[in-house]
Structure 1
Amino acid sequence: MSFSRKFPFAKRAMPVLLAAMLLPSLASAFSPFVVRDIQVNGIQRVDAGTVFSYLPVKVGEQFTEAQASEAIQRLYATGFFSDVKIDTVNNVLVVSVKERPTIASVTFNGMHEFDPKAITKSLGQVGFGQGRVFDRSMLERAEFELKQQYLSKGKYGVEINPIITPLPRNRVGVSFDVFEGDLAKIKQINIVGNETFSEGTLLDEMELTDSGMMTWYTGTDKYSREKLEGDIERVRSFYLDRGYLEYSAEPPQVTISPDRQDIFVTLTIHEGEPYTLRSVKLAGDLLGLDANIQPLLQVKEGEKFSATKTNATVKAITEYLGSLGYAFANVNPNPVLDRESHEADLTFYVDPGRRVYVRRIQIGGNTRTRDEVIRREMRQQEAAWYDSSNIKSSRDRVDRLGYFNDVNVRTTPVAGSPDQVDVNVDVKEKPTGLINLGVGYGSTDKVILSAGVSQDNIFGSGNTLSLQVNTSKTNRAAILSHTDPYWTRDGISKTTSLYYRRTTPYDSDNAYGDYEVTAIGGGLNFGVPISEYDRIFTGVSFEHNKLGRLNENTPLAYEEYKNEYGEGTNSLIFNLGWSKDTRDSALAPTRGSYTRLSGDLSTGDLRYYMLSAQQQYYLPLGKAYTLAFNGLADWGKSYGGKSYPVIKNIYGGGIGSVRGYEGASLGGRDERTNDYLGGSRRVVGSIQLYLPFPGATRDRTLRWFLFTDAGQVTTTGSSECARGPSNNRAEDPCGWKYSAGVGLSWQSPLGPLQLSYGRALNAKPGDDKQAFQFQIGTGF
């Protein structure tokens, strides 16, 4: 008797159910018999042994109707077959199957939003991919998964059409035709249920915004499910930081317009009441360190509960215990609410765990960089007590090398040793060689061209070798340098450099002077770290200066310099300095300070010294505002009976000093040609208030600012000031100059851009003013 059923392709469970229902009705179909042999027909890809393994009977065993039903169910359940047929002929069990096709390829047409390789991998995780059995239900699941990926990006107009192409040897090719559609943007965000705080206040806490003037740049109006979830958590944190311990929120409602272009988001929240801390306590095993842990509590009795301060307290206690070797310390804050009085008792339960030490530090992921380059940055030592502060410092130092895209430091317990851990440092190397070409424009130097080649991690040694060339209207320079950051084991760095510089006059409106100063030299400099933020530097350089292109239009000051020093001079310059940098960012700092003190002493043909100081301080005013202070002072003087060499003068005016005045225009003027001469003493101060750019409040690289500048450039030891030719004499070029204005700072894709509009507040006749000033650089 034959038991054969064919069923729809997409519903795998249906044939199993029908087989189970129909087989009992055929009870008289055959009597149980002993199987003499088993034959399998119709297999192409599946091995016969696989079919045998799913059969509930073997040769020599008795075969019954119940086993026939079970065999059909088992073979269908594998997913390998679209049809299963069981026959019995002369006590021989014959299994005939029809295999489902396999997927030979998965391709995508019209996909631009995602990387096809990443999507193929993602679909493989849900059971759909090359080499898998083709199943209509799996195809529908893959189509749904692909659509969800687009919806999470805000592409609600996406259309996906799968195309199945039969191929030889029972295979199919699957191609997804994708019409991505336009990106749906947030039209409106509504918050319902807020009573204490305004909707605008809460919206300011969110990253997503509705469409506005700057959202074309910030992209904050592009809907993203992940970003919305993050915003919901930010609003929750906002309330918890203000004591609303019973705050809750319903799932957000997201609707889309019929044309699938606009998205509307509604958040429904329940504020509750704010709670005041009635008591703050420590509990658990404090190791007798109560006096040391108590000052780490950032929450105080009588204050509103704050989740941020609570988490900061947990972090501080955990890090403190970690610095003592307790790598697995656990601190659990537990607020107990008194709902009648709206007060809470907060207890921090401390479990330090076992004290451990580091058995081994293991470096991984570095294929080119030598182990020693990473190990010498480690502040945590092997066979020493675990110290979380040293491990964090080690991670930061390795990251600051700039050789790696990612630095991950993690600790793992040593099996069988509860008091030991291993520290694993895993890095991902990045290309450290760089060839760059650049072009920029400044309102003073005009067109600026630059080119360079550098290798920051040459031969994996951590050393740096670079060649930089720059040229502009007034300056040209070429510098070849080599730096060994660990010339000694203690971290003393050594830099060797050769340089060429050529300078021509800064032009004023009525200047016509002509000269050229060429400097060729080489230097040897050392840097000595004295803390994580402080560094002392010292060195010596040899420099040859030559004054050329002399004619009747040469400024009088340079002619007098030639008469005193000659056209060519040789000098040996010694330098000594100290710097300290605690800024949170070198590009767009919001807090911290930068200090630098230095001094140069020149001997030989040019005898002078120059003392310099710079101080920057950044004070955050709330989350989006920063008040910046900048001061700069230089003081130079000659010795040995000669005047201060004019070729070593310094300049002021324009971006970087006193805006609103033309670049380099502060200080004396030449009596013959009216060229800017600068001076040997400079004092510059600036106060700047950074404000968020409208529509880009979370982009630190795009900010506008208000500023006020003050500065003076004079000649040391002299009350006289060269004011230019008698027919065009400036009234007071060496006096204090003040300005104020507004500006824009942007780390643009074309390079750093700075715009300023400054108003000279006390300009005198003869001063050269320049209200609008800008500078931009780009690489290509």
Structure 2
Amino acid sequence: MARRLLPILTVLLLTTVALAAQNPPPAGDRSEKKPAPQAEQPAKAAQGQQSEQPKIEKIVLEGNDRLTQDAFLALTSLRPGDVYDEGRLRREFMKIWNSGLFEDLSIDEENGKTGKIIIFHIKERPIVASVEYTGSKALTSSTILDKLKENNAEIKTGTVLDYTKVMHTEAALRFMAAEKGFPEADVTSKVQTMGRSEVALTFNIKEGPKARIEKVRFVGVHAFSQHKLRWTLKKTREHWFLSWATRHDIYSEDRYYEDIKALRNLYESEGYLDVDIGDPIVDKSFNKNHTKEWLKLTIPIQEGIAYKLGKVSFEGNTVFSSAELKKLFFLKEGKPLDKVALGYVIKAIESKYGEKGYIYATATPIFDKHAATKTADVAISITEDQIYYVNRIEFRGNVSTRDYVLRREMLIYEQEVFNYVRYQRGLYRLKATGLFTIKDDPTITKVPNTNTVDVLVKGEEASKNELLFGGGYGGINGFFVSGSFRTYNFLGTGTTFSLNADVGKVQKLYSINYSDPWFFGQRIGASFSIYNSDLTYLQFDQITKGASFAVSFPITDFSSWSIGYRWERSHANNFTTTISPLYTDYLNNTTTSAVFGGINYNSVNNPFRPMRGMQLSLNTSVAGTWLGGQNKFIKSNFDGDIYIPTFRKQNAAFRLSIGYITAYGGQQIPLWERYFLGGEDTLRGFGIRSVYPLTKDGRYFLDPSTQTIEGGNRYLLTNWEYVFHVVEQVDVALFVDAGNTYHERQKMELSNYRADAGAELRFFIPQFNVPLRLIYAYNLKKRPNDDFSNFQLSIGLTF
């Protein structure tokens, strides 16, 4: 009973004490005032303890060589006067260590006069003073630096030595050596101390024997021949006498896996959906001197079943009906299931959705295979997502070019539906202007909580201005002086403005030219030209003053039609033969007033360094008596250029040019309107305008009134090129030119032609858009008295 009452009494006692504390004695009772000062003592004690907590008196740095005290303090938030806190000190220690600037770091503390002295002991990592690459003949320093930049493995001078990055660089160098045919290359690095915490870093590449592919063999194959499979491999081929140029006999894992994709596409295009291509078995052998390594590759393939296309169905589609999508499906049931072609169908379906703004719509083929019947049903599963709109289009990298100049080429506009197909065409158009080089794929970012996206296009401005002054001696033009100024982006507006002057023995040409592809902000091209020329032909001189203007209107995104007018006043003199007095007055003051029109298509990727695309143009000019004209003729020209990419950094190019002119109203064709060929933009080895109509026995045609050599009323010209893009600033082109002009009194026989062949070395100087060309040409069909030069120096493009 006593045990039970004890807790109750304790509770009552505590309750009484609490009530007494809440109800102090009255003010008149002095006996209860004494405990009050005692209640303030714990608070004062706490303040005393806080004031006694040590502070950081000083921060001392020991062992530093290059690093100053201020630079070190920038790595930490610790400062003298701060309260000393061991937890914070540990956190700041790790923060300093993680900066990567130190090989060793420790911390001590001492009692000072007014607080703690914090002492940091450091050993700085050395600075890389120089980087050298030695031992390799196949890899030049410039090639190494370019590749290391691509792989983010470059070690720059002036940076802190990082051994992890050194190992990364060694691995990148081994990979580069293997790409050059040295899979056994040994790469080592050496760090040499130079004093004051600086080191010289040397990478030594011991190449070892050069490896070549001697034999490629496939096992387990029945569907295709060994020859067919070997031919499918584009970069992993057996050694042959032209391997020095193609370098396809060098084994590389990256190249091999690219070729595996080609092999897989070959099989899948014939319905082998389950084909399995294994890793190659590599057998090595060496020559006697152990300087060459020969590889025999055995590639195992499990072909599987060749399936034919069964039923086709669509699921998940609501925007388009199955019947609409089926129109894009060009594969036939019962035929081999071409998975490669099916990929194009998938892209066509996604593009159809992309045109409507469903830019994230996906189409995924699902195969239902039936081994017994060797057929596979295909169900296209579509995830439509939602319509997206363009919120903002932004460009980065354009310093001088105004945003609207780039924006107008994009073919999509802010706050409108994001048409992905037009977006892709717009990017191509933007690249084709030559004003803005897009380095990486643009970034498309969703705006949170909306159905809009932002488009960011990053790039660099191309060289916009050309200022050329030159002179020299040419076999045709003699001593000459030339100068020109041209800007392809006048005042950042995307317009072209040029001033030209060329003074030499054969020609004196002065001109002012201006063109605007977006006249008054509309997609209407406008151009004008004012010119004055004095040309020395074979048997007379011609002086011409004139002007022209033209406007063009779009047909499609890459095609347009144009119309324009040309007016010029010409007179001829200094004839080497006697001419009729009646004809002299006409030649001394004749006016051409002509209207012209044309149709143009241009999908070339770059106007200054084309690699893919097509350019077609058909133009007709009609001269008459309007506005004071005296000459009457009709002149038509067709030009077609095609650029086809072939292998990596290579492309083929072809040009076909045809012209025809005829007079009407009982008049003759003016001498200077007739066709002559020759020069670096037509037949490269021949002199300017030195190719004119000749009979098969070498006779030329004379103008009956002036007794001068006549040009043709027709011409045919073809140019073939194969271009190697060696490095960023250098191209090498092999070419063949063939063509001729034909007189109205002779048949247009293709066997009657002039031709040359040769090579060009093209230098793309950063200050200029067009290349500097060193041309070597060889006359393929020599004739007596040909005006032909084997070597020429020129600026510009043939086509």
Q: Structure 1: how far apart are the matches of 2:171 and 2:632?
A: 73
2:301 equivalent among 265, 270, 283:
270
Q: Structure 2: how far apart are the matches of 1:496 and 1:101?
A: 66
Distance 1:653 1:359, change over 3 A: closer
Number of the residue aligned with 1:713 = 743
Q: Give 5+ residue unaligned stretches, structure 2.
A: 1-53, 65-71, 79-83, 88-93, 135-140, 695-699, 725-729, 764-772
Q: Structure 2: how far apart are the matches of 1:778 and 1:522?
A: 27
- Aligned with 1:669: secondary structure? coil
Higher deviation after alignment, 329-338 or 40-49: 40-49
More strand by share: 1
Task: Give 1:265 shift.
Answer: 6.4
Give the alignment of 1:16-55 within 5 angstroms. Answer: 44=63
Task: Give 1:486 shift.
Answer: 1.7
Q: Structure 2: how far apart are the matches of 1:197 and 1:752?
A: 46
1:612 equivalent among 616, 625, 636:
636
Q: Structure 2: how far apart are the matches of 1:107 and 1:523?
A: 60
Task: Give 1:387 shift.
Answer: 0.8
Matched, 1:325 2:345: no
Number of the residue aligned with 2:174 = 148
Higher deviation after alignment, 750-759 or 406-415: 750-759
2:489 equivalent among 457, 464, 483:
457
Q: Give 5+ residue unaligned stretches, structure 1.
A: 1-35, 53-57, 62-72, 507-513, 694-698, 715-720, 722-732, 761-766
Conserved in 2, the CA contact under 8 Å of 1:652 and 1:713?
A: no
Give the alignment of 1:549-568 within 5 angstroms. Answer: 549-550=574-575, 554-555=576-577, 559=580, 562-568=583-589
Number of the residue aligned with 2:191 = 163
Number of the residue aligned with 2:412 = 380
Give the alignment of 1:460-539 within 5 angstroms. Answer: 460-469=492-501, 475-506=507-538, 514-539=539-564
- Aligned with 1:479: secondary structure? strand
Conserved in 1, the CA contact under 8 Å of 2:59 and 2:118?
A: yes
Task: Give 1:209 shift.
Answer: 4.8
Task: Give 1:487 shift.
Answer: 1.7
Distance 1:589 1:344, change over 3 A: same
Task: Give 1:566 shift.
Answer: 4.6
Q: Structure 2: how far apart are the matches of 1:622 and 1:120?
A: 26
Matched, 1:632 2:663: no
Distance 1:642 1:272, change over 3 A: closer
Task: Give 1:541 shift.
Answer: 3.4
Give the alignment of 1:728-747 within 5 angstroms. Answer: 733=746, 736=749, 738-739=751-752
Q: Structure 1: how far apart are the matches of 2:646 and 2:600?
A: 28
The normalised TM-score by structure 1 is 0.70
Distance 1:451 1:422, change over 3 A: same
The normalised TM-score by structure 2 is 0.69
- Matched residue type, 2:621: G
Distance 1:476 1:664, change over 3 A: farther
Task: Give 1:122 shift.
Answer: 6.8
Q: Structure 2: how far apart are the matches of 1:430 and 1:658?
A: 28
Q: Structure 1: how far apart are the matches of 2:309 and 2:731?
A: 35
Give the alignment of 1:619-768 within 5 angstroms. Answer: 630=656, 632-639=658-665, 642-651=667-676, 663-666=691-694, 668-670=701-703, 675-679=708-712, 681-682=713-714, 684=716, 712-714=742-744, 721=745, 733=746, 736=749, 738-739=751-752, 748-749=761-762, 751=773
Q: Structure 1: how far apart are the matches of 2:98 and 2:638?
A: 77
2:313 equivalent among 260, 266, 281:
281
Matched, 1:299 2:331: yes
- Aligned with 1:315: secondary structure? helix
Distance 1:548 1:471, change over 3 A: same
Number of the residue aligned with 1:4 = none
Distance 1:59 1:657, change over 3 A: closer
1:24-64: per-residue Cα shift (whole Å, max 9, x none)? Answer: xxxxxxxxxxxx99999996468999999xxxxx9999xxx
> If you compute each CA radius of gyration, which structure gives the higher value, 1 or 2?
2
Task: Give 1:121 shift.
Answer: 10
Task: Give 1:676 shift.
Answer: 2.5
1:145-166: per-residue Cα shift (whole Å, max 9, x none)? Answer: 4543543543654653412417
Number of the residue aligned with 2:590 = 569
Number of the residue aligned with 1:727 = none
Q: Structure 2: how far apart are the matches of 1:124 and 1:141?
A: 9
Task: Give 1:537 shift.
Answer: 2.2
- Aligned with 1:296: secondary structure? coil
Distance 1:288 1:749, change over 3 A: closer
Distance 1:253 1:530, change over 3 A: same
Q: CA RMSD in A?
A: 5.5
Task: Give 1:391 shift.
Answer: 1.0
Conserved in 1, the CA contact under 8 Å of 2:270 and 2:337?
A: yes
- Matched residue type, 1:402: G
Task: Give 1:492 shift.
Answer: 1.7
2:621 equivalent among 589, 599, 602:
599
Number of the residue aligned with 1:717 = none
- Matched residue type, 1:405: T
Number of the residue aligned with 1:334 = 366
Matched, 1:579 2:593: no
How many residue pairs get aligned? The number is 679
2:259 equivalent among 231, 242, 247:
231
Q: Structure 1: how far apart are the matches of 2:621 and 2:548?
A: 15
Task: Give 1:297 shift.
Answer: 1.7
Conserved in 1, the CA contact under 8 Å of 2:691 and 2:740?
A: no
Q: Structure 1: how far apart are the matches of 2:685 and 2:107?
A: 90
Taking only the aligned residue pairs, the percentage that are identical comes to 16
Task: Give 1:458 shift.
Answer: 1.9
Conserved in 1, the CA contact under 8 Å of 2:612 and 2:645?
A: no
- Matched residue type, 1:676: I
Q: Structure 2: how far apart are the matches of 1:253 and 1:440?
A: 61
Q: Structure 1: how far apart are the matches of 2:453 and 2:720?
A: 48
Conserved in 1, the CA contact under 8 Å of 2:623 and 2:633?
A: yes
Task: Give 1:369 shift.
Answer: 0.7
Task: Give 1:370 shift.
Answer: 0.7
Conserved in 1, the CA contact under 8 Å of 2:217 and 2:299?
A: yes
Higher deviation after alignment, 77-86 or 142-151: 77-86
Conserved in 2, the CA contact under 8 Å of 1:364 and 1:424?
A: yes
1:637-684: per-residue Cα shift (whole Å, max 9, x none)? Answer: 144x654433332346999599999811247324699752124x3264
Task: Give 1:403 shift.
Answer: 0.8
Distance 1:96 1:449, change over 3 A: closer
Conserved in 2, the CA contact under 8 Å of 1:652 and 1:682?
A: no
- Matched residue type, 1:543: E
Distance 1:181 1:442, change over 3 A: farther
Distance 1:217 1:662, change over 3 A: farther
Conserved in 2, the CA contact under 8 Å of 1:40 and 1:48?
A: no
Matched, 1:108 2:114: no
Number of the residue aligned with 1:14 = none
1:77-113: per-residue Cα shift (whole Å, max 9, x none)? Answer: 9996769899999xxx999997554222253124614
Distance 1:393 1:94, change over 3 A: closer
1:547 equivalent among 549, 572, 578:
572
1:422-452: per-residue Cα shift (whole Å, max 9, x none)? Answer: 2333332122112457899999999999754
- Matched residue type, 1:165: T
Conserved in 1, the CA contact under 8 Å of 2:683 and 2:756?
A: no
Conserved in 1, the CA contact under 8 Å of 2:636 and 2:659?
A: yes
Q: Structure 2: how far apart are the matches of 1:246 and 1:128?
A: 52
Conserved in 2, the CA contact under 8 Å of 1:662 and 1:769?
A: no
